[in-house]
Chain A
Amino acid sequence: MTTQMDTFRYDDHTPRMFFLATVFWAVAGMTLGVLAAALMFLPVLNAFPWLTFGRIRPIHTNAVIFAFCGNLIFATVYHSMQRLLKVRTWSMGLARFHFWGWQAIIIAGAFSLLFGYTEAKEYAELVWPLDIAIVVVWLAFGANMAAMLKQRREAHIYAAIWFYIASWLAIAILHIGNSLSVPYSLLGSYSLYPGAKDALMQWWYGHNAVAFVLTTPFLGMMYYYLPKAANRPIYSYRLSILHFWSLVFIYIWAGPHHLHYTALPAWAATLGMLFSLMLWAPSWGGMVNGLFTLRGAWDKVRDDPVLKFFVVGVTYYGMATFEGPMMAIKSVNALSHYTDWTIGHVHAGTLGWNAFIAFAILYWVIPRLWKTTLWSPKLATWHFWVGTIGLLMYQISMWVAGITQGLMWRAFEPDGRLMYPDFIETVVQLVPMYWVRLGGGTLFLGGAVMLVVNVWKTIRSAPADYAVEPEIQVPRLVYDEEMAPGAVTAANTYDHLFYRVQGALSHGIHRALERRVVLLTVLAVLALSVGSLVEIVPMFAVEANVKPIASVQPLTPLELLGRDIYLREGCYLCHSQMVRPFRAETERYGEYSKAGEFVYDHPFQWGSKRTGPDLHRLGGKFPDQWHVRHMQDPTSTTAGSIMVPFPHILKDDLDASEIEAKMGALRIAGVPYTDADIEQAAGNVTRQAGAIAANITLQQGPKNLQDKEIVALIAYLQRLGTDIQWRPPVDDALSATGTK
């Protein structure tokens, strides 16, 4: 039987576009990161309402995750899938729509965040119309992937593609699951989920954004580009199967480790911890397969900047996936959570793993896609060293800052007093480390600029006909023949049981599965569903998980408007609203937070970082006038404060025009506002604002603030944590200090 040959050309235009976008957004996203690192501890730089840490930080995270890493994922999927499946991009029109649609979402997202339009959930801040746009573009991407798989000329799909498929599925599920919200205007909406349930959904999403945007697609890339660049075979096919399925199954459970000792039920956090521990070995499976693939190529590492980036990138993946499970252990997390340690950990992954893998691939692929050679391998080597030093400075400074602050928060005097009762004492201690981090980040950005120069010069040296792709001839896939069950090809000489079981699973079952893409996809969906359902369903179905508290009432209309200012300014990025059940926290803040207190919170605002103190028991702690002065100039009430000043909130008029729509949307989400509540909302706003403004005047503050945003914000802050009765505990031993 003669084999029929197909002739076609690869589409390298689409990958070229996405790779260039990757380079652009890498520099843009890292520049925003350096800016955020400076805005965070240098209040004087926060000079305009739109130029504050709270606005810039979400733009930074969205830019590096979804713009830089997102474009790299699309670039490598289009580039490597065509080659691994021996097909051309199915639809150039869809690919073009995918490319420009994604860039448009990024730019629209950046500007909407800059102007304060946000859903106030970390890494899911984009407003609801953009959430829908993401789904549309994602479907275009998926359609192209699916059609290419359908038209493939290779019987088996290779490991890289398993990872791409799982990533596509998981991101679709997570994005839609977490982004459901009730709109109240063209750009505004409230999360559908309340309080503790919203927290679970958010970190199910948040942790798996790390898993399925920053991990599995990059492992897919590693499986294609690392053996290509090193010209070595993959170390272990069996290991690739094992760690792929275990990652997909286990990762999805781990989210609740972001919520240890919060008002999330302890059983869910326990599952999060245990599955995080089980995640360690499968993650290291990826590292082992990457590093062991380089056996026999170590001499090349010395000379080749591409392999240097790969080696450090894969090693950092191993470092971060050891640190992650460790930080998921409850007792470690009790120290590390809300501190800079978490920030250091995330950047070990993003700078060390994602960015270094990206740099490796870019230095390897750009000359090939433009049919030329890299302009300066020497400059690339410089980039490697500058980047590595920047990375180490970043990491070490954040370790030191995080552990220092965590220990200071919990330090007690032997007489039972907190050693550092003023939160600010624990902040000023960290400022030198913030300078080191700023320096490290700047070096890392400097490295990325070297990349831009090298890419620019390389592309300039491309031949005029670089865009003309050669014809490829491959045999057409004959289904009957190729689809026969797989067989072990070489005699099995290793006879121990363990090896034979692995062999039977990989060569028998899995090898066959690799030809049945639909079945593989279904199995991946099942693997992703188990952990999701086991955690989410009981949380929503079993009332005992969120014990109701009768005294907890919905916010008043003015407080709701104040909360929207809190969301808009990104207060949750530096302040938690979650007092953990630790003596060190109940001493400092007050009664620990209960799930029942957050049932009307859409979205939840528990936060993940305490650059400033926890705010859940803030209500009633300070007089209204204290808040006025504090917002105008935080250092006037707290010497040494690094908080962003918000003087414009004292001047800007309060916009109450959407209050009825906002309350209506919250009612749909489950907050029991009555018709009367909504009808009387405008009047209530005026009344409560007038009372607070009068109180401020009485406390010798500025007059006539009743129409300004500040009164709404104060109304909200004074309400925080006051729906339950709690008192500062009185300790007999200490009272003995007194005279009576």
Chain B
Amino acid sequence: MADTKDRMLDHDADGIREYDNAAPGWLMWMLYGAMIFSVVYVAWYALSFGDDDYGVELSGDQVVEKAKVQKYMADHPIPTPSAEALLAGAVDPAVLEGAAARFAKTCSPCHGQNAQGLIGPNLTDDRWLWGGKTTDIFSTIVKGVPAKGMPPWGRALKPDEIASLVSYIRSLQGSNPAGAKPPEGNPAVPEPLPGGKM
């Protein structure tokens, strides 16, 4: 650059000399650019978010994403598992093994290590608050019981994982674990397992 010829100033600070070079033009333009951007941004910002609220941004995002999800769900409906499939899982060791690990991780904090009931109800007896058929249990897990503190697990767990949990819970029927919570809800006769097992 023409104007960056080194011209020595007559300053001397403990032997340190200084050149009189100009600040590089590209550096100055970085500064001016940032300033211009800031002014434009403030103008745009002031015009586009009236009440300066992140909530507006979020709800806009939620509307867009919800529409996308609804379209996806319409195109890819998840088949509701049949009672037969859920009951078949309850005697399938491969299904039960995975479900036991998921139960320990996700369900046991509220329903107890052995489903005996802690803060949530006992899942091993024949009383049910929200329906005792396997398909009812599936629905309860998916939708949760928000009023009672049970989250809608359909938002976090995959449908086949929920199905395997239902099978697992069915397999625990009548297991009579130690420290079981007293029964709550209405009696329901467990649906019979395939092969006449109980």
Contacts and interface: CB of A to CB of B under 8 A. Distances in A.
Contacts of A20: none
Interface stretch (B87-95, B133-141, B167-175, B189-197): B133-141
B30 A280 contact: yes
A476 interface: no
Interface string A259-276: 001000111001000110
B109 A270 contact: no
Interface in A489-507: 489-490, 493-494, 496, 498-499, 502-503
A86 B144 CA distance: 77
Nearest to A239: B23
Contacts of A700: 112, 118, 179
B35 A278 contact: yes
Interface residues of B, number: 76
A463 to B, nearest CB: 24
A739 B135 contact: yes
B72 to A, nearest CB: 5
Contact of A728 (B16, B19, B24, B144): B144
A699 B30 contact: no
B73 A415 contact: yes
B3 interface: yes
Given A233-B17, A270-B45, A620-B149, A730 B58 contact: no
A115 interface: no
B99 interface: no
Nearest to A498: B22
Interface in A220-258: 223-224, 227-228, 233-240, 242-243, 246
B186 interface: no
B2 A739 contact: no
B69 A733 contact: yes
A461 interface: no
B118 A592 contact: no
Contact of A737 (B23, B45, B66, B142): B142
Contact of B20 (A160, A237, A736): A237
A235 B105 contact: no
A735 B18 CA distance: 73
Interface in A81-100: 83-84, 86
A152 to B, nearest CB: 11
A536 B71 CA distance: 46
Interface in B40-75: 41-42, 45, 49, 52-55, 57-58, 61-62, 65-66, 69-70, 72-73
Contacts of B154: 417, 731, 734-735, 737-738
A417 B65 CA distance: 11
Contact of B70 (A277, A498, A733): A733
A581 interface: yes
A227 B16 contact: yes
A265 B78 contact: no
A489 B10 contact: yes
A591 to B, nearest CB: 10
The 10 A-B pairs of least Cβ separation, nearest first, read A158-B13, A416-B69, A281-B31, A281-B30, A421-B156, A738-B139, A623-B119, A233-B17, A581-B54, A274-B38
Interface of A: 80, 83-84, 86, 154, 156, 158-160, 223-224, 227-228, 233-240, 242-243, 246, 261, 265-267, 270, 274-275, 277-278, 280-282, 284-285, 288, 292, 412, 414-418, 421-422, 489-490, 493-494, 496, 498-499, 502-503, 580-583, 586-587, 592, 620, 622-623, 625-626, 637-639, 699-700, 727-728, 730-740
9 contacts: A236-B22, A238-B22, A239-B27, A280-B30, A292-B21, A415-B76, A582-B58, A583-B58, A625-B119
Given A417-B155, A626-B110, 19 more contacts: A234-B16, A238-B22, A266-B54, A280-B34, A281-B28, A416-B65, A417-B154, A417-B156, A418-B155, A489-B9, A494-B2, A496-B3, A728-B151, A730-B143, A730-B144, A730-B152, A735-B152, A737-B154, A738-B142
